[in-house]
Amino acid sequence: MPQHVVELIGSVAACLTTFAFLPQVMKVWRTRSVRDISLITYATMTLGVFLWFVYGVGIGSFPVIAANAITFVLSLFILIMKIRHSR
Protein backbone atom coordinates (compact mmCIF):
# COMPACT_ATOMS: atom_id res chain seq x y z
CA MET A 1 0.00 0.00 0.00
CA PRO A 2 1.45 3.43 -0.90
CA GLN A 3 2.71 5.50 2.03
CA HIS A 4 0.36 8.42 1.26
CA VAL A 5 -2.62 6.06 1.52
CA VAL A 6 -1.35 4.71 4.85
CA GLU A 7 -0.93 8.29 6.13
CA LEU A 8 -4.45 9.17 4.94
CA ILE A 9 -5.92 6.15 6.72
CA GLY A 10 -3.98 7.08 9.86
CA SER A 11 -5.21 10.66 9.66
CA VAL A 12 -8.85 9.64 9.25
CA ALA A 13 -8.58 7.14 12.11
CA ALA A 14 -6.93 9.79 14.28
CA CYS A 15 -9.72 12.29 13.60
CA LEU A 16 -12.47 9.77 14.33
CA THR A 17 -11.00 8.47 17.59
CA THR A 18 -10.01 11.94 18.79
CA PHE A 19 -13.30 13.64 18.11
CA ALA A 20 -15.22 10.72 19.64
CA PHE A 21 -14.30 12.35 22.98
CA LEU A 22 -15.98 15.66 22.17
CA PRO A 23 -19.56 14.67 23.06
CA GLN A 24 -18.41 13.49 26.51
CA VAL A 25 -16.36 16.63 27.08
CA MET A 26 -19.28 18.84 26.05
CA LYS A 27 -21.69 16.94 28.31
CA VAL A 28 -19.37 17.16 31.32
CA TRP A 29 -18.75 20.85 30.63
CA ARG A 30 -22.47 21.60 30.31
CA THR A 31 -23.81 19.49 33.19
CA ARG A 32 -20.79 19.31 35.51
CA SER A 33 -21.98 15.75 36.11
CA VAL A 34 -19.29 13.09 36.31
CA ARG A 35 -21.15 10.62 38.47
CA ASP A 36 -21.26 7.85 35.86
CA ILE A 37 -17.69 8.30 34.66
CA SER A 38 -15.09 5.82 35.91
CA LEU A 39 -12.07 7.47 37.52
CA ILE A 40 -9.88 4.43 36.87
CA THR A 41 -10.93 4.29 33.21
CA TYR A 42 -10.15 7.94 32.57
CA ALA A 43 -6.89 7.86 34.55
CA THR A 44 -5.76 4.84 32.55
CA MET A 45 -6.98 6.32 29.27
CA THR A 46 -5.22 9.63 29.91
CA LEU A 47 -1.92 7.91 30.70
CA GLY A 48 -2.28 5.61 27.68
CA VAL A 49 -2.99 8.52 25.33
CA PHE A 50 0.02 10.41 26.72
CA LEU A 51 2.21 7.37 26.02
CA TRP A 52 0.80 7.12 22.47
CA PHE A 53 1.76 10.80 22.04
CA VAL A 54 5.32 10.05 23.21
CA TYR A 55 5.42 7.07 20.86
CA GLY A 56 4.24 9.28 17.97
CA VAL A 57 7.03 11.75 18.70
CA GLY A 58 9.49 8.87 18.81
CA ILE A 59 8.50 7.55 15.39
CA GLY A 60 7.83 11.00 13.91
CA SER A 61 4.25 10.29 12.88
CA PHE A 62 2.18 13.47 12.60
CA PRO A 63 -1.22 11.71 12.74
CA VAL A 64 -0.22 9.87 15.94
CA ILE A 65 1.25 13.02 17.50
CA ALA A 66 -1.65 15.33 16.63
CA ALA A 67 -4.45 12.93 17.49
CA ASN A 68 -2.97 11.96 20.82
CA ALA A 69 -2.05 15.51 21.81
CA ILE A 70 -5.67 16.58 21.29
CA THR A 71 -7.10 13.42 22.86
CA PHE A 72 -4.78 13.86 25.86
CA VAL A 73 -6.16 17.35 26.49
CA LEU A 74 -9.76 16.16 26.16
CA SER A 75 -9.22 13.11 28.36
CA LEU A 76 -7.30 15.15 30.93
CA PHE A 77 -10.17 17.65 31.08
CA ILE A 78 -12.64 14.86 31.87
CA LEU A 79 -10.24 13.35 34.42
CA ILE A 80 -9.77 16.70 36.17
CA MET A 81 -13.52 17.31 36.22
CA LYS A 82 -14.06 13.81 37.63
CA ILE A 83 -11.59 14.45 40.44
CA ARG A 84 -12.87 17.96 41.14
CA HIS A 85 -16.60 17.17 41.11
CA SER A 86 -16.49 13.78 42.82
CA ARG A 87 -15.75 15.29 46.23
Q: Is 55 within 8 Å of 69 (Cβ atoms)?
A: no
pLDDT digits (tens, 9 = 90+) for 62-82: 888 999 999 999 999 999 999
Between the alpha carbon of residue 61 and those of residues 19, 28, 51, 52, the distances in Å are: 19, 31, 14, 11
| 5: confidence class by pLDDT, cuts 50, 70, 90 | very high
CATH code: domain 3-85 is: 1.20.1280.290
Q: What mean pLDDT, rounded, does the chain reach?
A: 92
The arithmetic mean of pLDDT across residues 25-29, rounded, is: 93
Judged against a pLDDT cut of 80, whether residue 47 lies above it is answered with: yes
- What ranges do the domains of the chain cover? 3-85
Judged against a pLDDT cut of 90, whether residue 21 lies above it is answered with: no
Q: How high is the pLDDT of residue 11? A: 86
Q: What is the pTM of this model?
A: 0.86
